[in-house]
């Protein structure tokens, strides 16, 4: 790990305190913060307005934790770009830029690998290496924001090269289980939300969890402004354990109780994710089980047709089965749902396809 302080690890208040300790004016904190998050500066050389003594201290004791790009791949769909980024210890992570009509989303990682072992997920198949630091999470969002900047070199792909958009959405749906790395993720979110910085709205930051019950209960208690997605995939304990091994530790009834507490405490709905696997969890009967499970809860279901991964032989649901599933949720249970657009599959940038060798 780096011995120097990573500036992306600090909230603006932490940076201000550091400057006070160093005897620098708070005014310079704001200047540095603007350089980091409005101008998206990637070096101290790009900060001409800082006094020499401030710059000298920063150069000797801190670093801007920019993550070098090891590989950048554009999908043929013209909307998706995947970055392989190198961390200071040479570990690698993946970050995805997704462009939907009218919005850009950064899909960021929270860990190198994942310890949860979901059978159909490439990250789960590679196992767990380590947590990311707050700065490493923030750096991924900055990386995407920088790619959208007008003065960044236009991408090879025309639509990705459209520079009018700014980053408004961040989803913690890359590699890793965000609630397994709770403190670092929440610290990073505080930095992303800073109104004088990237200024992301809390509800446009989505934390997706496999169902880490203590984390959900802590979120309920702390009432943090963010959107929560819970990966359900099955509506009975036996079926869920077969797909999501950690369901043994946090059984479905405990998970649903935690979700109920979350929605009661925060007044927010939860997005329930359901990876649709042909013949496994896509039958009309299973749709009714989800409907009964979520009945009366503020919920939206996000259906994700299975994306291929090397370690799992299942097939994605046919679109007709997905439509029937949706119709049952809507007509019989009044549950809104969406089917996730399949994007970036050719470059393995879809849900659950992120992994590093
Ligand atoms: N660890 C978190 C967030 C990362 S995964 C979680 O599990 O929620 C983001 C979403 O992609 C999750 O809902 C996950 O279940 C889903 N997913 C994983 N592998 C997939 C695959 N092969 N095809 C489609 N969705 C997948
Ligand atoms: Fe980890 Fe989420 Fe993949 Fe499960 S689906 S292995 S929790 S990243």
Strands 80-86 and 69-74 turn out to be: antiparallel
Q: Domain 69-347 class? A: alpha beta
Residue nearest to atom 15 of ligand 1 (CA): 231
Cα 165 to ligand 2 centroid, rounded to whole Å: 29
As for ligand 2, residues whose beta carbon falls within 6 Å of it are 114, 116-118, 121, 123-124, 176-177, 210, 352
Cα 302 to ligand 2 centroid, rounded to whole Å: 16
Residue nearest to atom 4 of ligand 2 (CA): 118
Q: Where are the alpha helices (DSSP H) in the chain?
A: 12-21, 26-37, 52-61, 122-126, 134-148, 158-161, 182-193, 213-222, 237-243, 252-266, 284-294, 319-333
Cα 176 to ligand 2 centroid, rounded to whole Å: 6
Cα 53 to ligand 2 centroid, rounded to whole Å: 46
**Ligand 1 atom at minimum distance from 302 CA:** 13
Q: How many CA atoms lie within 13 A of 56 on its CB side?
A: 5
Sign of the CA dihedral with 189 first, then 191, 192, and 194 last:
positive
Q: What is the pLDDT of residue 100?
A: 81
The bound ligand whose nearest atom lies closest to the alpha carbon of 117 is: 2
**pTM for the full predicted model:** 0.95
Question: Tell me: the pLDDT tens digits for 296-346?
Answer: 999 999 999 999 999 999 999 999 999 999 999 999 999 999 998 888 999
Q: Kindly compute the dihedral angle of the four CA atoms of residues 7, 8, 13, 18, in this order, to the nearest 10 degrees.
A: -20
Fold of 5-63: DNA polymerase; domain 1 (1.10.150)
**Ligand 2 atom at minimum distance from 122 CA:** 3
Q: What is the pLDDT of residue 32?
A: 97
Close Cβ partners of 323 (under 8 Å, ≥ 6 residues apart): none
Long-range pairs for 251-258: beta carbons < 8 A, 24 or more residues apart: 254/213, 255/211, 255/213, 255/216, 255/230, 256/293, 258/213, 258/216, 258/217, 258/220
Cα 127 to ligand 2 centroid, rounded to whole Å: 10
Question: Tell me: the pLDDT tens digits for 107-143?
Answer: 999 999 999 999 999 999 999 999 999 999 999 999 9
Q: What is the pLDDT of residue 152?
A: 44
The bound ligand whose nearest atom lies closest to the alpha carbon of 121 is: 1
Q: What is the average pLDDT value for the chain, to the nearest integer?
A: 93
Long-range pairs for 221-227: beta carbons < 8 A, 24 or more residues apart: 221/265, 222/186, 223/265, 223/266, 224/186, 224/189, 225/193, 226/189, 226/202, 227/202, 227/203, 227/268, 227/271
State the CB neighbour count (10 A cutoff) for residue 52.
7
Question: Tell me: the pLDDT tens digits for 147-171?
Answer: 998 754 444 333 444 545 689 999 9
Q: How many CA atoms lie within 13 A of 99 on its CB side?
A: 23
Catalytically active residues, by annotation: 94, 351
**Ligand 2 atom at minimum distance from 244 CA:** 4
Q: What token pair was written down for 150?
A: 């007008």
Ligand 2 binding pocket mutation candidate from 121, 216, 351 (most atoms within 8 A of CB): 121
Q: Distances in Å between the alpha carbon of 31 and those of 5, 41, 140, 351?
A: 18, 12, 22, 38
Q: What is the pLDDT of residue 308?
A: 92
Separation of alpha carbons 28 and 54, rounded Å:
8
- Label residue 285 by pLDDT band (50, 70, 90): very high
**Ranges of each domain in the chain:** 5-63, 69-347
Q: Are 170 and 206 in contact (CB under 8 A)?
A: yes
Residue nearest to atom 8 of ligand 1 (CA): 209
The bound ligand whose nearest atom lies closest to the alpha carbon of 311 is: 1
- Label residue 101 by pLDDT band (50, 70, 90): confident
Separation of alpha carbons 204 and 222, rounded Å:
18
Q: What token pair was written down for 43?
A: 């070096």
Cα 121 to ligand 1 centroid, rounded to whole Å: 6
Separation of alpha carbons 209 and 231, rounded Å:
6
Residue nearest to atom 8 of ligand 2 (CA): 176
Q: What token pair was written down for 163?
A: 């520079």
**Ligand 1 atom at minimum distance from 307 CA:** 23
Separation of alpha carbons 249 and 327, rounded Å:
32
**Ligand 1 atom at minimum distance from 305 CA:** 24
| Mean pLDDT, rounded, for 229-246 | 98
Q: Are 181 and 131 in contact (CB under 8 A)?
A: yes
As for ligand 1, residues whose beta carbon falls within 6 Å of it are 118, 120-121, 173, 177, 208-210, 231, 273, 275, 304, 306-307, 309, 351-352
Say if residue 1's pLDDT is above 60: no
């Amino acid at each position: 790990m780096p011995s120097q302080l990573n500036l992306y690890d600090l909230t603006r208040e932490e940076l201000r305190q550091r400057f006070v300790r160093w005897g620098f004016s708070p005014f310079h904190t704001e200047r540095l913060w603007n350089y980091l998050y409005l101008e998206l500066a990637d070096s101290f050389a790009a900060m001409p307005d800082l006094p020499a003594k401030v710059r000298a201290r920063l150069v000797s004791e801190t670093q801007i934790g920019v993550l070098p790009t090891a590989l950048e791949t554009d999908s043929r769909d013209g909307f998706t770009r995947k970055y392989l980024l190198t961390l200071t210890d040479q570990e690698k992570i993946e970050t995805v830029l997704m462009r939907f009509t009218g919005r850009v989303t950064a899909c960021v990682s929270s860990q190198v690998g994942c310890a949860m072992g979901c059978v159909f997920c490439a990250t789960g198949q590679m196992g767990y290496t380590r947590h990311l630091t707050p700065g490493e999470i923030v750096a991924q969002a900055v990386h995407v924001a920088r790619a959208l900047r007008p003065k960044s070199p236009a991408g090879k792909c025309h639509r990705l090269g459209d520079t009018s958009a700014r980053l408004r959405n961040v989803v913690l749906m890359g590699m890793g289980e965000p609630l397994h790395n709770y403190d670092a993720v929440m610290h990073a979110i505080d930095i992303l939300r800073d109104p004088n910085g990237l200024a992301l709205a809390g509800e446009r930051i989505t934390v997706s969890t496999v169902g880490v019950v203590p984390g959900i209960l802590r979120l309920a208690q702390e009432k943090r402004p963010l959107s929560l997605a819970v990966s359900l995939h099955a509506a009975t304990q036996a079926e869920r354990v077969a797909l999501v091994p950690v369901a043994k530790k946090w059984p479905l009834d405990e998970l649903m109780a935690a979700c109920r507490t979350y929605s009661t405490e925060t007044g927010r709905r939860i997005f329930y994710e359901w990876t649709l696997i042909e013949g496994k969890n896509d039958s009309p009967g299973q749709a009714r089980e989800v409907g009964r499970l979520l009945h009366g809860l503020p919920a939206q279901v996000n259906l994700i047709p299975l994306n291929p991964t090397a370690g799992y032989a299942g097939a994605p649901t046919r679109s007709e089965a997905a439509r029937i599933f949706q119709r049952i949720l809507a007509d019989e249970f009044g549950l809104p749902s969406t089917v996730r657009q399949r994007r970036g599959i050719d470059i393995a940038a879809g849900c659950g396809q992120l992994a590093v060798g």
